[in-house]
Amino acid sequence: MKLKTLLTAAALSGLTLLSASASAFSLFGSDDDTLKLGYLVKQPEEPWFQTEWSFAEKAAKDKGFEVIKMAVPDGEKTLNAIDTLAASGAKGFVICTPDPKLGPAIMAKAKSYDLKVVTVDDQFLNAKGQPMTDVPLVMMAASQIGYRQGQELIKEMQHRSWDQATTGVMAITADELDTARRRVDGAIKAIEESGFPVAQVHRVPTKTNDIPGALDAANSLLVQYPTVKQWLVVGMNDNTVLGGVRATEGQGFTAKNVIGIGINGVDAVNELAKSKATGFYGSLLPSPDVHGYKSIESLYDWVEDGVQPKKFVEVTDVVLITRDNYKAELAKKGL
C-alpha cells in the first residue's frame, strides 16, 4: 500500500515536473515571435485533462503557436500561473478552474495583463454565485450525458433481470460543481422515469472529486443500506464511480451484483483493461479531443484574427465504452 502511494506520488510529481519543464522551455528556450497561449487545468492527474492537453498541442502544431501547459490545483497556483504566463509574453489562456468561484479573480488578473480567457469544462461563477455567461465556455452537455448514464444503467440492470425491489442506486454527488450536479440529476431523472422506485435512490455527497473522496462517501452510504443486494452506481465522472465501486468491493460485492457506469471514458481505460471484470461496467466517452482542440483554437482565432469566440460551445457526442469495445471506440477518436 505504502509503495503504491509512493509510486503514485512519484508519478504525479513527475507529471508536474514534466509540465514545469515544458513551461520553462517555453519561457526561455523558444523563439520570441511564436505566439504563446496557456492551457491551465485543475487536475492534471486525470487522463481527461492530459487528453485535452495533447489535442491542444495538436491545434498548436496545425496553427503554428505554442501551448504552455500548467497544473492549477488551487486558487493560489492559478493566480501565480497567470503571472507566469504574462511574464512569458503569452496572449491568453484556456482554463478549467479548480474552483468556479475563482472566476472574478481570474478575470480581474487576466484583464490586468490584457490576456484573453476561454473556459473549458467548468463554468465560472460570479460573486452572486451565478454563471459568468460572458466568458466563452466549451463544455459537455452535462444533463444529457447524465441522462444517458441513467438510461444505460437501467438497460444493463434489465438485461441482467435483476429484482428491482432489492436493487439500490448509489448516487455520489458534488452539487457545488454545476456540471457535476447536472450530470447526476440527469442520471437520476432517467432512472426515475424508467419506473425505478424513488425511495431506492440514495444520494451521498463526496468531499473531494477523486477516488478516495468518493470511496469515503460510498462507504458511509453502504452501511446505511445493508439489505440492498445489487447496486447501480452513479457519479459525475469515472473517478467518482470508481470510488463507489471500490467501496462495494469492500463489502463483498462483485461484478455480478454491481453496475457502475462512469463519464470521461479516458479515465476508465485501466479499469476496463483488467483481466477480470469488476463492478465498473463501462463509461460514457465524450470528446476530450474536441474540448482540447476547439477551446484553444477559438482562443487562437480571437488573439490572432480578432474573431470573437462563441460564448457557449456544448459538446454532445458520447459513446458507451465497455470491456468489449473500448479499444475500438478510443481508436476511432484517435485516443
Contact map string, positions 257 to 296, toward ligand GLA, x by CB under 6 A? ------xx--------------------------------
**Measured from the CB of residue 109, what is the shortest distance to ligand GLA in angstroms?**
21
78 binds ligand GLA (CB under 6 A): no
Cβ–Cβ under 8 Å, residues 39 and 19: no
CB atoms within 10 A of CB 76: 10
* Cα–chain center distance at 111: 27
Residues β-bridged to residue 36: 66
Nearer to ligand GLA, 131 or 162 (CB): 131
**Measured from the CB of residue 286, what is the shortest distance to ligand GLA in angstroms?**
7
**Measured from the CB of residue 139, what is the shortest distance to ligand GLA in angstroms?**
6
Contact map string, positions 300 to 329, toward ligand GLA, x by CB under 6 A? ------------------------------
Nearer to ligand GLA, 107 or 140 (CB): 140
> What are 107's three cell numbers?
478575470
Phi, psi of 252 (to 5 degrees): 90, 5
Phi, psi of 148 (to 5 degrees): -65, -40
179 binds ligand GLA (CB under 6 A): yes
Helix axes 288-305, 47-63, angle to 10 degrees: 40
Rounded Cα distance between 131 and 293, Å, is 23
45 binds ligand GLA (CB under 6 A): no
121 binds ligand GLA (CB under 6 A): yes
**Measured from the CB of residue 251, what is the shortest distance to ligand GLA in angstroms?**
26
Cβ–Cβ under 8 Å, residues 65 and 34: yes
User: Binding ligand GLA by CB under 6 A: which of 26, 37, 39, 46?
Assistant: 46
User: Binding ligand GLA by CB under 6 A: which of 209, 230, 283, 298?
Assistant: 209
- The candidate with the shortest Cα–Cα distance to 23, out of 100, 77, 84, 95, is 84
User: Binding ligand GLA by CB under 6 A: which of 237, 248, 295, 298?
Assistant: 237
Nearer to ligand GLA, 263 or 330 (CB): 263
In eight-state DSSP terms, residue 98 is S
Q: Is the dihedral of CA 211, 256, 201, 139 positive or negative?
A: positive
Contact map string, positions 122 to 141, toward ligand GLA, x by CB under 6 A? x----------------xx-
**Residue 261, SS3?**
strand
Rounded Cα distance between 99 and 198, Å, is 32
Q: Which is it for strands 319-322 and 280-285: parallel, antiparallel or unpaired?
A: antiparallel
User: Binding ligand GLA by CB under 6 A: which of 39, 48, 196, 302?
Assistant: 48
In eight-state DSSP terms, residue 114 is T
Q: Which residue's C-beta sits nearest to ligand GLA?
A: 121
185 binds ligand GLA (CB under 6 A): no
Looking at the chain, how many residues does it have? Answer: 335
Rounded Cα distance between 227 and 279, Å, is 18
**Count of residues engaged in binding ligand GLA, rule: CB under 6 A:** 12
**Measured from the CB of residue 209, what is the shortest distance to ligand GLA in angstroms?**
5
In eight-state DSSP terms, residue 307 is P
Nearer to ligand GLA, 21 or 133 (CB): 133
- List contacts with ligand GLA (CB under 6 A): 46, 48, 96, 121-122, 139-140, 179, 209, 237, 263-264
